Amino acid sequence: MVNRRDFLTSLAAFSAVAPLGMPEMAHAFSVPPACLVDGPAPPLPDRNLYMQNEDAFWAALRNQFLIPKDEVFLNNGTVGSSPYPVLKGVFDSYLDTERMAQDDPEQYPIWGYEAYASYRDALAQFIGATRDQIAMTRNATESNNYIANGLELKPGDEVLMSDQEHPGGEQPWNLRAKRYGIVVKKFEVPKPPKNAAEILNRINDAITPRTRIIFVSHITTVTGVVLPVKEIAALARSKGIISALDGAHVTGMMRLNVNDIGCDLYTSSPHKWLQAPKGSGFLYLRDEAIMNKLWNTIATHGWDEPNLKAERFQHIGSSNVPMLAGLQAAIDFANWIGMERIEKRHHELADYIYAEMIKRGAESWTSPDPALRCAIVTVNVAPAKMPDLEYWMWKQHKIRIRGGAPHKIRLSTPYYLQKGDIQRFLQKFDSYKQA
Ligand SMILES: Cc1ncc(COP(=O)(O)O)c(C=O)c1O
């Protein structure tokens, strides 16, 4: 393990050779996360504290995150923040793998050619799948691209998606449409949807005899609505249509059981709500029928070996084992807290901010039906304009929200947020409106 003196000595050596014009990098090296190189991370709270005082439990967990205490981070929907146990998983793995002392002389710290069974098992168990059903990828975008580029489709075949897909979900299909003549069709998700039936009816009405795939987000990026995915998957199946879900936001936000959903394909980015390292994602394939329909679009050793099952989609060439160790640490951390507790907390914080924004007269795009929302609330706050309000919040008050022109704000409520943080945001919002 690197101790602080060795670390700083190497820093001095680095600074001596660092060219002028690199002050930011030198600065980054001069502030090592001391608890990682020098001693233990802040202690975890007693798990039983939750039973006595939930708020005290969550306040103690907040110490595991590097986000400064005077910052309010309401944009976990774009990217999460890896806490100390996750960083430790990554750094310990670097310190181990970079010794180049692997047992097997043919083994190196790269993961783009191997099964990495223990990492896949941990992830599979966490999402209600089996090892053979999942490939570890870099993010939802990569997994979505595998799907859009790898399925056999003829010109004129249709993919049906919502009007709220993220570019990382929609654009792969647009590319396929432009290059090969498939057709992208969209249904509109009401803003806000009153209930699940309203959404299902719109999907049902938009299906045509040429619909081959229904591709939708499980939780959309535009409004954070939780779509009724089990019913969508069943509807698709009943009509012989492939269902592919973009669950970028779901892993770590809500309990997830992909086999229970019943979809054919599922993708995600655990770097968001599972607080896993950036660059961790997955692709789920339900069964051999769908595995055999999906071509690899990145090919190296193993692409033509169906017996590898989903593993063949994680053969991408040299990549990064410490990231997998960090993903595993993120899973362990979420399991240690308990996904039930996390999901409940996500709901409570979002319900609170939702109710407060409604009281303030905001126009909601978040559903009044609690089943269609979790930890993302989206409202419109005219006449406040974006990005003005977003910049004012951040530059003047260290509060990060996600703005969208002209008046939209998307508010994410990760479990590590404190109620006091939300109150601070609300106070500042009120003062902005009065100014
Ligand atoms: C629904 C959805 N899909 C895909 C993405 C892209 O995620 P990534 O950049 O991790 O691939 C996002 C990001 O916000 C998203 O919300």
Give the nearest ligand 1 atom to 271 CA.
10
Instruction: Say yes or no: CB of residue 249 within 6 Å of ligand 1.
Output: yes
Give the nearest ligand 1 atom to 220 CA.
1
pLDDT digits (tens, 9 = 90+) for 365-387: 999 999 999 999 999 999 999 99
- 356 φ, ψ to 5°? -65, -40
Residue 26 has pLDDT above 80, yes or no: no
Amino acid letter, residue 17? V
- 157 φ, ψ to 5°? -65, 145
Tell me the CA–centroid distance for residue 272 and ligand 1, in Å. Answer: 9
Task: Report the mean per-residue pLDDT for the chain.
Answer: 92
Contact 366, 378 (CB under 8 A): yes
Instruction: Say yes or no: CB of residue 223 within 6 Å of ligand 1.
Output: no
Instruction: Say yes or no: CB of residue 294 within 6 Å of ligand 1.
Output: no
Give the nearest ligand 1 atom to 218 CA.
1
Instruction: Say yes or no: CB of residue 169 within 6 Å of ligand 1.
Output: yes
3-state secondary structure the chain: CCCHHHHHHHHHHHHHHCCCCCHHHHHHHHCCCHHHHHCCCCCCCCCCHHHHCHHHHHHHHHCCCCCCCCCEECCCCCCCCCCHHHHHHHHHHHHHHCCCCCCCCCCCCCCCCCCCHHHHHHHHHHHCCCHHHEEEECCHHHHHHHHHHHECCCCCCEEEEECCCCHHHHHHHHHHHHHHCCEEEEECCCCCCCCHHHHHHHHHHHCCCCEEEEEEECECCCCCCECCHHHHHHHHHHCCCEEEEECCCCECCECCCHHHHCCCEEEECCCCCCCCCCCCEEEEECCHHHHHHECCCCCCCCCCCHHHHHHHHHCCCCCCHHHHHHHHHHHHHHHHHCHHHHHHHHHHHHHHHHHHHHHCCCEECCCCCHHHCCCEEEEECCCCCCCHHHHHHHHHHCEECEEECCCEEEEECCCCCCHHHHHHHHHHHHHHHHC
Residue to mutate, 82, 173, 225, 246, ligand 1, most ligand atoms under 8 Å from C-beta: 246
Structural domains of the chain ordered from first start: 117-331 (3.40.640.10), 340-434 (3.90.1150.10)
Mean pLDDT of 122-135: 98
Q: Would you state the pLDDT for residue 150?
A: 98
Tell me the CA–centroid distance for residue 265 and ligand 1, in Å. Answer: 16
How many Å apart are CA 308 and CA 132, to the nearest integer? 8
Q: Would you state the pLDDT for residue 435?
A: 82
Give the nearest ligand 1 atom to 140 CA.
11
Q: Would you state the pLDDT for residue 3?
A: 40
Is there a cis peptide before residue 192, judged by omega within 30 degrees of 0?
yes
Residue to mutate, 170, 223, 227, 249, ligand 1, most ligand atoms under 8 Å from C-beta: 249
Q: Please name which of 345, 224, 272 lies closest in space to residue 81, comparing C-alpha atoms.
A: 272
Residue 15 has pLDDT above 90, yes or no: no
Residue pointed to by tokens 């051999």: 288
Tell me the CA–centroid distance for residue 166 and ligand 1, in Å. Answer: 6
| Residue 187 φ/ψ region, left for φ over 0, alpha for ψ in the -120 to 50 degree band, beta for the rest | beta
* Of the candidate ranges 31-35, 53-57, 122-126, the one whose mean pLDDT is the lowest: 31-35
Tell me the CA–centroid distance for residue 161 and ligand 1, in Å. Answer: 15
Pairing verdict, β 211-217 and 242-246: parallel
CA of 224: how far to CAs of 193, 349, 360, 404, in Å?
11, 14, 20, 13
Tell me the CA–centroid distance for residue 319 and ligand 1, in Å. Answer: 21
Tell me the CA–centroid distance for residue 217 and ligand 1, in Å. Answer: 9
Instruction: Say yes or no: CB of residue 248 within 6 Å of ligand 1.
Output: yes
CB within 8 A of 77, min separation 6: which ones?
221, 224, 249, 272, 376, 402, 410, 412
Residue 20 has pLDDT above 90, yes or no: no
Contact 71, 398 (CB under 8 A): yes
pLDDT digits (tens, 9 = 90+) for 37-71: 455 678 999 999 999 999 999 999 999 999 999 99
Q: What's the start-to-end Cα distance of the chain, in Å?
A: 53
Residue pointed to by tokens 């229970």: 260
Residue to mutate, 216, 221, 223, ligand 1, most ligand atoms under 8 Å from C-beta: 221
Tokens of 114: 């191997």
What percentage of the chain reaches a pLDDT higher than 90? 87
Neighbours of 184 (CB within 10 A): 17
Calculated CA dihedral for residues 350, 351, 355, 357, nearest 10 degrees: 10
Tell me the CA–centroid distance for residue 248 and ligand 1, in Å. Answer: 5
Pairing verdict, β 265-268 and 408-412: unpaired
Tell me the CA–centroid distance for residue 266 and ligand 1, in Å. Answer: 13
How many Å apart are CA 164 and CA 46, to the nearest integer? 41
Q: Would you state the pLDDT for residue 41?
A: 76
pLDDT digits (tens, 9 = 90+) for 147-185: 999 999 999 999 999 999 999 999 999 999 999 999 999
Residue 143 has pLDDT above 60, yes or no: yes
Instruction: Say yes or no: CB of residue 141 within 6 Å of ligand 1.
Output: yes
**pTM of structure:** 0.92
Tell me the CA–centroid distance for residue 269 and ligand 1, in Å. Answer: 7
pLDDT digits (tens, 9 = 90+) for 295-337: 999 999 999 999 999 999 999 999 999 999 999 999 999 999 9
Instruction: Say yes or no: CB of residue 246 within 6 Å of ligand 1.
Output: yes
Q: Would you state the pLDDT for residue 30?
A: 45
pLDDT band, residue 22 (cuts 50/70/90): very low
Give the nearest ligand 1 atom to 217 CA.
1
Tell me the CA–centroid distance for residue 56 and ligand 1, in Å. Answer: 32
Q: Please name which of 222, 161, 167 lies closest in space to residue 366, comparing C-alpha atoms.
A: 222
Residue pointed to by tokens 């060439």: 317
